[in-house]
């Protein structure tokens, strides 16, 4: 029997483990992958106190911090949860409360060729696969910070990088836009949508919605995220239309004993950053501690 089961392995989950240890809660982190999406980031430049660090190293530090305080972390996917007088996950882990910090996953483009060429030119991670496109032509679909960062990473290897965005102007932070404007290898093609990814054994081109076809060796998809919500459906907590968990200012859901933090929630004005995920986790654990004390 635990006080708290934390579902997820990213910044929110690991921060929750740290705070749970400080509040003397018996907590267990369950995740099939420790680190979350941020672990794929080559450079994290907005974590206070550290000018630059890789996402993997930052998450290793989170994990080390949690374990140094006695936090328990199990590399195990939460596949099943049952709620009666308590919560039971995977038929063996029991707890008085559950914190969902399962994060989000990359959104798919959902066009012909995307599945067929996955790993053969189609990628969702510039940090992981950028080096395979040295002196090649690649495209990045999207206009957010993640799309901008991906384009800059790819420009270190590729001969040419096209940012393909459906609006007239990319919406990345001014910091990233300025870097893109100064990079001669990057070209923004606005007001377009990718309709099809073409090739034979590997990607050779993409067809845009205005009929133009661009020759490319690779396509990196950065069009946002969707919540990872399998456990959410089992617990029947309320979500918004895209599927993000609705939380109050205590990070509580509308199901007693269930809380949520990080990218999977509607919190922090939908500003899904490592720092907001960590803040939500800290608030959630304090709320859980208060509620467990009140319930005796």
pLDDT, residue 230, reads: 77
Q: How many residues does the chain have?
A: 296
Name the nearest CA neighbour of 150 among 159, 160, 163, 137.
163
In the structure, what pLDDT confidence band is assigned to residue 296 with cuts at 50, 70 and 90? low
Q: Token pair for residue 109?
A: 């483009």
- The arithmetic mean of pLDDT across residues 149-156, rounded, is 97
Residue 65 CA: distances (Å) to CA of 69, 120, 282: 7, 38, 14
In the structure, what pLDDT confidence band is assigned to residue 270 with cuts at 50, 70 and 90? confident
Residue 109 CA: distances (Å) to CA of 10, 21, 37, 214, 225: 24, 40, 18, 17, 11
Contact 69, 19 (CB under 8 A): no
Task: Using only the alpha carbons of the chain, give its radius of gyration.
Answer: 21
Q: Token pair for residue 198?
A: 């073409």
Judge if 2-105+225-295 and 122-221 fold alike in CATH terms: yes
- The arithmetic mean of pLDDT across residues 201-214, rounded, is 95
Question: What span, in angstroms and rounded, lies between the C-alpha atoms of 163 and 141?
Answer: 6
- The arithmetic mean of pLDDT across residues 218-231, rounded, is 90
In this structure, the dihedral spanned by the alpha carbons of residues 295, 2, 11 and 89, taken in order and rounded to 10 degrees, is -110
Q: Token pair for residue 42?
A: 């080559």
Could you tell me the residue ranges of all domains in the chain? 2-105+225-295, 122-221
Average pLDDT across the chain, whole number: 95
Contact 38, 59 (CB under 8 A): yes
Write out pLDDT tens, residues 39-70: 988 889 899 999 999 999 999 999 999 999 99
Architecture in CATH for domain 122-221: 3-Layer(bba) Sandwich (3.50)
In the structure, what pLDDT confidence band is assigned to residue 233 with cuts at 50, 70 and 90? confident
**63-68 long-range contacts, Cβ below 8 Å, gap at least 24?**
63/14, 63/34, 63/35, 65/14, 65/18, 66/14, 66/17, 66/18, 66/21, 66/29
Contact 10, 38 (CB under 8 A): yes
> Mind telling me the catalytic residues?
125, 128-129
Architecture in CATH for domain 2-105+225-295: 3-Layer(bba) Sandwich (3.50)
Question: What span, in angstroms and rounded, lies between the C-alpha atoms of 175 and 186?
Answer: 15
- The arithmetic mean of pLDDT across residues 174-194, rounded, is 97
pLDDT at 208 over 90: yes
């Amino acid at each position: 029997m635990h006080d708290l089961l934390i579902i997820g392995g990213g910044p929110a989950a690991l921060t929750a483990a740290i705070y749970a240890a400080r509040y003397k809660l018996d907590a267990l982190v369950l995740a099939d992958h420790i680190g979350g999406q941020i672990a794929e980031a080559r450079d994290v430049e907005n974590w206070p106190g550290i000018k630059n660090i890789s996402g993997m190293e930052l998450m290793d530090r989170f994990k080390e911090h949690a374990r140094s305080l006695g936090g328990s972390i199990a590399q195990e996917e939460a596949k099943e949860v049952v709620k009666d007088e308590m919560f039971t996950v995977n038929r063996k882990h029991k707890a008085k409360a559950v914190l969902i910090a399962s994060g989000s996953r990359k959104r798919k483009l959902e066009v012909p060729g995307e599945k067929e060429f996955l790993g053969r030119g189609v990628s969702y991670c510039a940090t992981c696969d950028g080096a395979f496109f040295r002196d090649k032509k690649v495209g990045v679909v999207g206009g957010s910070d993640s799309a901008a960062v991906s384009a800059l990473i790819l420009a270190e290897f590729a001969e040419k990088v096209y940012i393909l965005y459906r609006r007239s102007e990319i919406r990345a932070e001014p910091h990233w836009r300025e870097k893109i404007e100064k990079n001669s290898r990057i070209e923004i093609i606005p007001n377009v949508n990718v309709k099809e990814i073409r090739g034979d054994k590997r990607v050779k081109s993409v067809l845009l919605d205005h009929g133009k076809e661009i020759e490319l060796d690779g396509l990196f998809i950065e069009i946002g995220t969707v919540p990872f919500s399998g456990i959410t459906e089992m617990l029947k907590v309320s979500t918004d239309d895209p599927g993000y968990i609705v939380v109050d200012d205590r990070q509580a859901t509308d199901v007693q004993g269930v809380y949520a933090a990080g990218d999977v929630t509607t919190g922090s004005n939908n500003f899904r950053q490592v720092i907001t995920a960590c803040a939500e986790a800290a608030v959630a654990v304090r709320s859980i501690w208060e509620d467990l004390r009140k319930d005796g």
